[in-house]
Chain A
Amino acid sequence: MSKPVKQRPTQAPTGGVYKGDALKDLAESLNITIPDNVSSALASDVEYRIHQVVEEAARFMRHGRRTTMTTSDVDNALRVLNIEPLYGHTPYNPTTFRRALPFPQSTSAGPVYFVEDEEIDFDRVLREEKVTLPKGVTWTAHWLAVEGVQPLIPENPPAIPREAAPDPGGPLPDGTLATVVKTETPAQLNGISLPGASGANGKLTQQQQQQLVKQVLSRELQLYYARLTGSLLPPTTDFAKRTAALASLRSDAGLQALLPYLIRWVAEGVVGALKDGAHSESDGKVLEVLMDVVSAILENSALFVEPYLHQILPPVLSTLLHSSLPPSHATQLRTAAAQTLSRLLTQHSTTYPSLSPRIMKTLLLALISPGKNKGTREGAIRGLVGVGKEAVRKGLVEGGGAKVVASESQHSGSRESAALLNTAMEALQVLQPPPSDMTDALDHSNPADAAVISKLIDLVGEYFAARIANDSAWARELVGMGPSDSS
């Protein structure tokens, strides 16, 4: 006598992603009501079919050499399983699923995912910029490995540093290179981490890459750098050695790798010397040497300086325009800086058209804006001379620099003022036409000359007008009236 028939309990839809409830909802939308056990059985079957399709699609993905499945994989899978594909999904326009919070009445159902049906506004589409056609597939080739060593070129990922290896940062001048390499772990490089790339890579690889990092600045160059800076900088060392060092810098090839370090060294040196007022004699000497170094670098034809111009300019301009240089060296330093600036501009203004306007602007500000020191003014004038004739005309004459200088220093009578006035006069002489045999002064009685004089006063102020009035050709040149106008 056995027990009365006990059917197995109707299974609540557990397990699996496709719930029986979803199927019931679907059936209800078609006006069919299905019992629980049917819906759960159907849900199981639906899930199995989905898995079947996904497994098939995974094959297409694998053979497509991809690691993400696309809608075309599913399409292909449906096709080979003899099911009609789902139209309207393209990998070009991947569908985005939105998540809606669960319905408040039945939170147990969980959140609902749906495909957003975007409304497209034709007006907006028409107004939008037209999409350009992509240029098509292109290829590039690079060396992934040369005789078993991966070259450090931009196409290859940077070397992976040895984990927690205490890098003897000493040999590098300032450690910049070492830190750059260290911070770029593969995870940051690639967006997603190469699993095992950091820790799991063979020791061989790590070692090889460690080697490559050092090759960037060879031991010889490091030694050279140390010797060079050592013989240059405490300026008390003997003169012959310094000259030799500068000569080497001026003419030796193969220093390109050192260039960033040298420029940085110069910049730091200049900042260090100028920071504490730069009144001492030694500071002046240091600055002198550093200016020599900059001009030597610029003179070296084997160096490719252009990428570093923006780093060279600040020390040069600082030296030129600093308010209080040691008095014994001031003139010499400013002259040297102006010459360097001039050389730099002649060499590179063709490739950098914006270079001279930018420098001009800095210099003009220093010359004209009120409240500047006399030293700064002098430096600015020297700089303008270095930039060229037109710069002098623009700064001193048209910009009113001469008037400012004259008004500030005409009556002070100090030595600095005299120097400043002299400098301004020298600068104005740049505008002097080639000296002719006869220089005749402007005649106040001559109405034409009087007009010139008044205009001259207008432009450069009385002080300079008086000094220039002796040479009529010069005055006319300054005013902008050729000799032909006078007659």
Chain B
Amino acid sequence: MSAATPSATQSTPAPSPPNASQEEKPALSTSEQAILEYLRARGHHDAEKAFLQEVTEGRSPDDKSKLEEIGKDEFLRSLAVYAGKASRPGENLLKDSGTVLQELQSMGNPSAIQNLISSIGAVGAEEDREEGFRELEAWVDGSLDMYRPEFRPILFPIFCHFYLDLIQKGFKEAALRFYSTFSESLSTSHSATLHHLSTLLLPAHVQNDDLAQRFMNEKYIIKMSRSGLSLLVGWLTEAFGGEAMGAGNGFSGEQGKRGRVAVMAVVNNHLSFQMTSTNPTTVSPSAWEESTGLLSSLIPQGTGAVSKLTNAQAFNQDRVLREQAVLDREPLQYDMQIARAVPPGLVAPAESELLPHPPAFKTIDIEREVSAVRDARKRIRLDPSALNNIDPNSPQATLQRARALPSICAYTLHDVTEGSPCMTFSQDTSLMAAGFAESYIRLWSLKGEKLKGFRSDFNASSVKDVATLQKIREKKGTTTRKLIGHSGPVYSVAFDPISGSAAPPKYLLSSSADATVRLWSMDTLTNIVAYRGHENPVWDVKWSPMGIYFATGSRDRTARLWSTDRTSCLRIYAGHLSDVDCVQFHPNSLYLATGSSDWTARLWDVQRGNCVRVFIGHQAPISCLAMSPDGRYMATAGEDLAINLWDLGSGKRVKKMMGHNSSIYSLSFSAESSLLVSGGADWTVRCWDVKGAGGLKAKSENGSSSEVGNRPGRGEGSQETIDLLSTFPTKRTPITNVQFTPRNLCLAGGVYLSPEQR
């Protein structure tokens, strides 16, 4: 490596006026100085000028630390970053070469050496990476239509690794330039991740950031067909494949080669390809969501698992789910429809696998079941399939809509100062509860009855029967009560399901940012238990279908199972890599579903506490989820504004439903599991067909019937899938809760957003 080596790029000729040679001097090396002085002494002014120009020209890229001219220390430092995984490379302890040699010798295992050697190739300047990425992008874009959807996903991980490498080496400016040049083409589908990465600016940040560490330590999994992979390998190793014109300084040029080497280093070290036998053209465009990404840490490892599963499908097929819980095996088998066929892949659970419940029936249990029968008889049947194959313009359609779509009653809160994160209705629709950001819960009687608690000044021995109990109720009461006890915003409230629709609920659970869950008695209208255990805000709390037990999800990345009669938790479900944002029991109370900010949803065996399913496919944190009453499906909604429908048995995504324009706050299935209702921040309630086929509206295919003309070209952001049956806008109310009553009336709740507040 000598300074006189001409650079491959002549792109930046630094004009250096000859008379500035005095200023240039200090920057020149000793050998150059000597030559200059010799020339000057001899009076060769022209030669001196030419030499100086050449030197400075050769230097100018070198100022940006080009590969060839990297100083010794720089080189060592780069090495150190790669070699010193174990010895905290962020700290600059590998200053001298001796340490590096030591480090090299201490690393006995060949894989590490290999890693190191490959990384030596990758020790390159930012320009190589830029060039390499530009070429890769050009190659992907220039590839055949057949392969392009397959190749596009490669760009993102390589981009991330290049950016992180640049940051880690301290080339902040180069990294920012790299980011601004290339992030745009990727931002459509990865904007959240890209933004997060763009906030990392120093090597220390990369060391401490979770996502960056996951990129560094985990393999990024990409699905690819065999032929596609061989094309890629071919391009990486030597020049063949689609070469785009004008992409970089000649494909076979020196720099192009080094760029490809940099790409190859990332491919070798951080990517893992999964072979698929399917024809790349038949794969749906959103399929990559399920199988691409940093998956290895998302997929839980079974205890003592022999094979490291990297495939969510394989994991999900590993065990079968059990179906047919207590509810259905009770003697009160009343309806023919309920005796449904067990879906394939589900088997009946044994008694021992269920959560223990009190053995004896109480009066309220009988009443609940009786009212459940009554509800089932009076239920409004919603059958969205009736809308299929009907021209929406025909008069018939109006009639069918009434059969297919629910009636929705909207409850709007007014004059809320700071916001109400949650709302819920009791199953008998006698009570409504809302939690507020001001740390209190407000309870309303929807029937206009007065809410009366018990007086506190009574003699316990005088209470003998119901009549005397009634006497100690408060004389006065209002239709609303404030429940005070939390010391942080209340994020979730839930009424107990024991009394069903037969009677008002007896208990209310609430979870809050103060890391507690509180149980409120609806008799006394006071707080009776505070459950502590979570270390961070508790985002969600849900009762099990039979009451008594409940589950919570928290920012501390765990979900927990509790019993109302114990103040410590019974089970901890750990495995999510980020906040557990929402929880929901399976209707047979054997399983618990959780949705998390790590973009996955999981299904846990409640008793054993292990994860039995992982649902990968969302591209943003999951905000809410719902289980279908028939136990087959789960719907999750994420910040990517999509609702995914999952088949629990196979763990596969059934379809992706799109149409919301803003965050989705609540989901609910109708009692027949045929209709899904969602409410969100775009002030709408939307109805979705669960059984119908999904997919985006084809612009040309079914435009023949009546759609021609009234559909102008729509942007990427407002795509709707065809299973969106109906949209009901409110005036200015973000919908925080939607739920179905047992008779299939839909209740929606939200806070009116007065215009001047914003």
CB within 8 Å of B: which residues of A? 1-9, 11-12, 14-16, 41, 44-45, 47-48, 51-52, 55, 59-60, 62-68, 70, 72, 76, 80, 91-92, 134-150, 155-157, 160, 162-165, 186, 189-191, 194-197, 199-208, 211
Contacts and interface: CB of A to CB of B under 8 A. Distances in A.
A44 B404 CA distance: 56
10 contacts: A15-B172, A44-B172, A55-B199, A63-B491, A67-B734, A76-B537, A137-B413, A145-B408, A156-B729, A208-B726
Given A1-B2, A62-B639, A76-B488, A137 B442 contact: yes
A143 B411 contact: no
Nearest to B725: A204
A421 to B, nearest CB: 63
Nearest to A200: B718
A163 B710 CA distance: 7
Interface in B496-522: 513
A62 B621 contact: yes
Contacts of B755: 191
A257 B535 CA distance: 62
- In order of increasing CB-CB distance, the 10 nearest A-B pairs are A148-B405, A51-B199, A44-B201, A196-B718, A147-B402, A148-B401, A15-B176, A144-B410, A200-B718, A144-B408
Contacts of A160: 729
A203 B196 CA distance: 38
Nearest to A210: B393
A45 B206 CA distance: 11
Interface stretch (B59-67, B308-316, B319-327, B587-595): B59-67
Contacts of B73: 5
A148 B63 CA distance: 69
B668 interface: no
Interface in B607-642: 621, 623, 639
Interface stretch (B101-109, B149-157, B239-247, B681-689): B681-689
Given A11-B173, A76-B513, A139-B411, A145 B405 contact: yes
A202 B720 contact: yes
Given A62-B621, A139-B412, A3 B62 contact: yes
Contacts of A59: 555, 579, 597, 621
Among B408, B420, B720, chain A packs the most CB atoms within 10 A around the CB of B408
Interface stretch (B46-54, B136-144, B657-665): B657-665
Contacts of B685: 144-145
B539 interface: yes
Given A9-B63, A14-B173, A3 B731 contact: no
A139 B432 contact: yes
B171 interface: yes
B489 interface: yes
Main SS class of interface, A = loop
A45 B205 contact: yes
B173 A15 contact: yes
A195 B714 CA distance: 11
B683 A194 contact: yes
Given A59-B579, A63-B421, A147-B401, A6 B199 contact: no
A271 B544 CA distance: 73
A1 B4 CA distance: 12
A4 B401 contact: no
A2 B413 contact: no
Contacts of B329: none
Main SS class of interface, B = loop
B583 to A, nearest CB: 13
B639 A200 contact: no
Given A144-B730, A156-B730, A157-B729, A9 B64 contact: yes
Interface string B529-553: 0000000110100000000000000
B718 A195 contact: yes
Contact of A199 (B69, B489, B639, B714): B714
Contacts of B623: 62
Contacts of A2: 1, 71-72
A2 B68 CA distance: 9
A48 B687 CA distance: 41
Interface of B: 1-3, 29, 62-65, 69, 71-74, 170-173, 176, 196, 199-202, 204-205, 392-393, 398, 401-402, 404-422, 432, 434, 436-437, 442, 444, 446, 488-489, 491, 513, 536-537, 539, 555, 579, 581, 597, 621, 623, 639, 661-663, 665, 681-685, 687, 706-707, 710-712, 714, 717-718, 720, 724-732, 734, 736, 746, 748, 751, 755, 758
A202 B401 contact: no
A134 B710 contact: no
Among A3, A5, A139, chain B packs the most CB atoms within 10 A around the CB of A139
B659 to A, nearest CB: 8
Nearest to A14: B173
Given A48-B201, A144-B728, A201-B727, 12 more contacts: A6-B69, A45-B204, A52-B199, A60-B489, A60-B513, A62-B621, A65-B421, A134-B415, A137-B415, A139-B411, A141-B446, A148-B726
A150 B663 contact: no
A209 to B, nearest CB: 10
Contact of B539 (A45, A47, A63, A155): A63
A270 to B, nearest CB: 39
A145 B62 CA distance: 70
Nearest to B1: A2
B491 A5 contact: no
A388 B404 CA distance: 62
Contact of B422 (A47, A65, A137): A65
Contacts of A149: 398, 401-402
A6 B66 CA distance: 11
Contacts of A211: 398
Contact of A143 (B398, B409, B682): B409
A1 B31 CA distance: 11
A483 to B, nearest CB: 63
Nearest to A141: B411
Contacts of A52: 199
A145 B730 CA distance: 10
A165 to B, nearest CB: 7
Contacts of A156: 728-731
A63 B581 contact: yes
Contacts of A146: 407
A67 B680 CA distance: 11
B663 A62 contact: yes
Given A66-B419, A147-B405, A140 B412 contact: yes
Given A8-B74, A148-B401, A136 B734 contact: no
A196 B725 CA distance: 16
A148 B727 contact: no
B731 A203 contact: no
A138 B414 CA distance: 5
A8 B720 contact: no
A337 to B, nearest CB: 44
Nearest to A195: B661
Given A48-B201, A68-B758, A194-B661, A203 B392 contact: yes
Among A14, A136, A137, chain B packs the most CB atoms within 10 A around the CB of A137
A211 B397 CA distance: 12
Contacts of A165: 710
Contact of A4 (B29, B417, B663): B29
B406 A139 contact: no
A55 B621 CA distance: 12
A3 B407 contact: no
A157 B731 CA distance: 5
Contacts of A135: 415
Contacts of A208: 398, 401, 726
Contact of A190 (B405, B408, B415, B731): B731
B65 A6 contact: yes
A41 B205 CA distance: 11
B625 to A, nearest CB: 14
Contacts of B720: 200, 202
Nearest to B196: A55
Given A51-B199, A145-B405, A204-B392, A3 B3 contact: yes
